[in-house]
Every structure is written in C-alpha cells, then in structure tokens.
Chain A
Amino acid sequence: MFKNEEMEINLGPQHPSTHGVLRVKLRLDGETITHCRPMIGYLHRGVEKICENQSFFQGQVWTDRMDYCSAVANNLGWAEANEKLFGITVPRRAQYIRTMLNEFNRLASHLIWLATHALDIGAMTVFLYAFREREDILDMNEAFCGSRLTTTAFRIGGLREDLPPGFEKMVQKFLAKFPSCLEEYENLLSENRIWKKRTVGVARLGAEDAIAMGVTGPVLRAAGVPYDIRKAFPYAAYAEMDFEIPTRTEADTYARYLVRMDEMRQSARIIQQCMDGMPEGPVMAKLPKILKPEVNEVYHATEAPKGEIGYYLVGEKGSSNPYRFHVRAPGFINLQSLPKMAEGGLIADIVAAIGTLDIVLGEIDR
C-alpha cells in the first residue's frame, strides 16, 4: 500500500513564483527534491538574430526587452561595447550621467527583487513598500528618456539629451528619503523569525561551485568572493567613485538578501557622488558620418544588477549590421546553479532558491 515511489512534477511554466515562464522539472521523494532541471525557452524571441539583421544603432531597443527590470544596465553594456568597437571616447558628463542612471536602475532592480522575493516567501507587506520607491525611480526614467521600463536611454557616443530641468531636485528628494525606506524594509525582514526560518541555511551555493558554474553578481558575492566588474574592470565613471563591495560568507539565501541590501546603500552613495561631482560639458561625442568598426570583434562586460552582462559583437567590412551579436546574460548563467541549490532540499525551498537567484526570463531566453 505504501510504496516507496518517486514522483515527478512540474513547477511552472505559469507558476507565479517562477518569475515568468520558467518550467522546473522536479523529482520528489516525499517532500525532498532528488532531481531538479530547469527548462527554458518559453520566451524565446530570437533577439540575437534580430540584432544581426539590423544596424548597430537599432540594436538597443532589443536590449531593453531582454532584462526588462534593468533596461538601463543592458543599454549601458550595449553602448559601451559599441563604443569599444568603433573606438569612440564618451564625454565625461555623459559618463557621469550614465553611471548615475545605471545605479538608479540597480536600485529599481533590487527593489523589485526584494518585493517579489519576499512575496514568494510569504512576507506580503514589503511588496508595496518596495514598489513605492521603485515608482520614483521609474518617474526619473520617464523624465530623462521618456519611457519608464523600455528606456532606450543611451546612444553610441553618449546621450541623446542632457538631464531635464528639475532632475537634480528629484534625485535629492529621493536620496533624502531612501535610507529611511531601506531601514523600514530591514525592520520588517531582517529580524523577522518567519523570514529567517525560510532563508537562513536555505539554497546554499559555496564559492567553489559558484566559480565553477560561472555564477556572478550578488549570488557570488554572498559566497565570499569580492568580484565586482565595477571595481575589477572599471567602466563608465566607476573608477572615480568611492564605494565598497559588500560580501558575506554564509552563501545562503539570507546572505544574498543582506548583500543586496548593502549594495543598495552603496548605490545610493554612488548616486550622491555623481550628483556632487557632475562635470559640465557636452553629452555627445563627435561621431564620424559613417561608423566603421575599428576592430573586428569585441567583448565588453559590465556589472548589471543580476551579474555580469557581456556583449560580444563582431563587425563586418562594408556592412552596417553586426555579423554576430551575442549576449552573455547573467540570469542564464546563474540559473544553472538551481539544481545545485535545490537538490536535497525541501520542495518549499525551491521557491526561495528561484527568488534568490533573481532571474528574469526575458533575459534567459532572449
């Protein structure tokens, strides 16, 4: 009557805690996961191939739609890769504005991660509080480039327009209230016994495994590896900024939560420094009439909120389209550590594991 049998179930593809259309094939022994395989491809649009059939300039609109929670960070990586390919130097003011918007985007992305991750685990209060602050950041996006989510913020060689009038006031207003908001989230979660029961020691991923799998971003830093491209290979104006890389050594879900919270503080610090030291000058470099690739191929990595986003571009002689357009999406690489995190754990903990990886399926499937 009581046969010892393993059961196979699907988590997703339309499960609310899978953050999109991720399907996870699970084999269960009772409540314990013995086998876990993420299945992707439900949101595949062929972004890379579309970009190869369009000019270098047009590729940006597709990068918006990869990781739609952090479109500005995607735009930045794309813009810098193109500038490397064409050998363009960006004016300093444009670099500062880019850095500031990128950090705002990091805040927005981490806030949406905090909101949905807490909602998955069962803390519903944080959800709307985090979205309240994210709203201000989206308003700033709208004021700067006219769109809230699919920003198309930058151009090859700089920015399309300077900061709008009144932007500084918006930033200062936001920075004045943001630390108290962060404190609010931490008061709600950090000491909460239910939150700690659901996160401490759950979904561990040690430094060795993380490095072996190529995991980057807060997941790697929570394992004690202080690797951040903003410091390791500074781009934009990060070389002139003073900030720290928050790390933890516990390598569990709770550590990743703490790392991301600290990262938000550092982001606020960088934004303040950008506002204080904003240089004057043009925001667009002088471009030649026809853009010709200086080198044949280029790989440029930047630190997106979710990890290392890299653009691999290959230019072709006599063509305005990239011959190859490849994206190293952080979510795609990070997702492969899901089996390592979930196998051997309880089925309820895989929800925490998916949430803590901070994946966006638009980026994974592309």
Chain B
Amino acid sequence: MHKILRTLIPFDIAKGLSITGRHFAKVFFTANRRKVPFHIVSEYPEVVARIQPRFRGRLTLLKDEQGEIKCVCCMACEKICPTQVITIEKGKKEGRKMPFPVRYDFEMERCIFCEFCVESCGFDSIILNHQFELAAYNREDFSLGLEGAENMFEPSQVGKFSVADD
C-alpha cells in the first residue's frame, strides 16, 4: 500500500521541482542588471569582469622613473620559460652601465601564463598585467617586441568582437 502510494504521488519529483521553483522565483524577482550587476554570473562583456589582484595576464616589460627599460638581460626568464616564448638579444646603450635589451621578443600564442618568468626575474623588470582579452584576428598580432603598435610596454589592443565595444 505504502509503495503504491509512493508510486502514484510523485513526492520525489515535487521535492526537486520545489527547489527549482524557489530558485526561479528568487532570480525572477531580483534580476535587474542595473541594481544587481553580479547575480550569480556577471553579464560579461556588458559588465566589467572582476579580477583578483594576483591574476596572471599578459607579460609586460616595465620602465623605471627615467623611462629606461629595467631589463638588464640576465636571461633568467628566457631560461626558465617552459614553452620558450621569450627571445632576448643583448646590446649596449650609451650612458648605461648595465646591458640593454636590443630585442625582447615575446610569442604570446605559445605563452601558458605560468608566471615563472616574473618569479625568476631578480630585477623586478617584468610583470604579468591583468589583461585577459587577448584574442586577435591576425597571427602577427601575437608576436610582441619592443617597437610597433603591439609592444611589450602597453596592454594589447582589445579586438572588437562584441556589440558592447562599439
């Protein structure tokens, strides 16, 4: 008798449905993009994503107060990189005691964002910035150097993919 009753009246399914209903009601009555920008998920890209301070983004070269490149070509980052994406060429500059990077190439397409390079750097001359929108249309845009529109000092240009960018 008990078994038949349990088969006829679907308590188990009602239990599940009540949970779904409760969540639906909660979201339905509070969902408002202007008031609650992060309900459960953020409405990216309309809402800017929250990023933690330790986030590992794109490799960036730093300059000191005089506008000089801080890198002294110790090659530690080149050696430690697990995917060999960094190529440095040593050079000399007038009025500078330390070696100066003539070339600092970074192949972003192969970078795995592990931050080993930043860790190995004894001169604090590189960091990983907080940029994560790194997609681009052309393969050349992923090869960064010291010069050019896409360089190692500024954040990469964000590709125009979404409606919100226009």
Binding site for B on A (CB under 8 A): 54, 57-58, 60-62, 125, 129, 132, 135, 139, 142-147, 150, 152, 160-161, 164, 184, 187-189, 191-193
Contact = CB atoms under 8 A, between A and B. Distances in A.
8 contacts: A61-B82, A125-B19, A142-B54, A152-B116, A161-B54, A189-B16, A193-B10, A193-B12
B56 interface: yes
Nearest to A125: B20
Nearest to A145: B54
A188 B54 contact: no
Given A58-B80, A61-B112, A146-B128, A192 B16 contact: yes
Contact of A58 (B15, B16, B40, B116): B116
B125 to A, nearest CB: 18
Contact of B12 (A160, A161, A191): A191
A144 B82 contact: no
A187 B115 contact: no
A184 B82 contact: no
A62 B82 CA distance: 9
B123 interface: no
Given A132-B40, A160-B119, A184-B19, A147 B80 contact: no
A198 to B, nearest CB: 13
Contacts of B128: 146
B67 interface: no
Contacts of A187: 15-16, 19
Contacts of A58: 80, 82, 116
B93 to A, nearest CB: 31
B113 interface: yes
Q: Which 5 A-B pairs have the closest CB atoms?
A: A146-B56, A146-B54, A191-B12, A58-B82, A143-B52
A147 B16 contact: no
Given A58-B116, A62-B82, 17 more contacts: A54-B82, A57-B80, A60-B114, A61-B82, A61-B112, A61-B114, A125-B16, A129-B23, A139-B52, A144-B54, A146-B56, A146-B115, A150-B114, A164-B52, A189-B16, A191-B11, A191-B12
B16 to A, nearest CB: 5
B135 to A, nearest CB: 17
Contacts of A188: 15-16, 19
B53 interface: yes
Interface string B54-87: 1110000000000000000000000010100000
B13 interface: yes
Nearest to B12: A191
Contacts of A135: 41
B19 A146 contact: no
Contacts of B41: 135
Contacts of A192: 12-13, 16
A160 B15 CA distance: 46
Interface string B1-25: 0000000001111011001100100
B80 A193 contact: no
A299 B52 CA distance: 36
Nearest to B55: A146
Contacts of A193: 10, 12-13
A184 B15 CA distance: 10
Interface in B20-40: 20, 23, 40
A161 B13 CA distance: 48
A147 B112 CA distance: 11
Contacts of B16: 125, 187-189, 192
A144 B56 CA distance: 11
A142 B130 CA distance: 12
A147 B13 contact: no
B62 to A, nearest CB: 18
A191 B15 contact: yes
A264 to B, nearest CB: 18
B115 A152 contact: yes
Contacts of B15: 187-188, 191
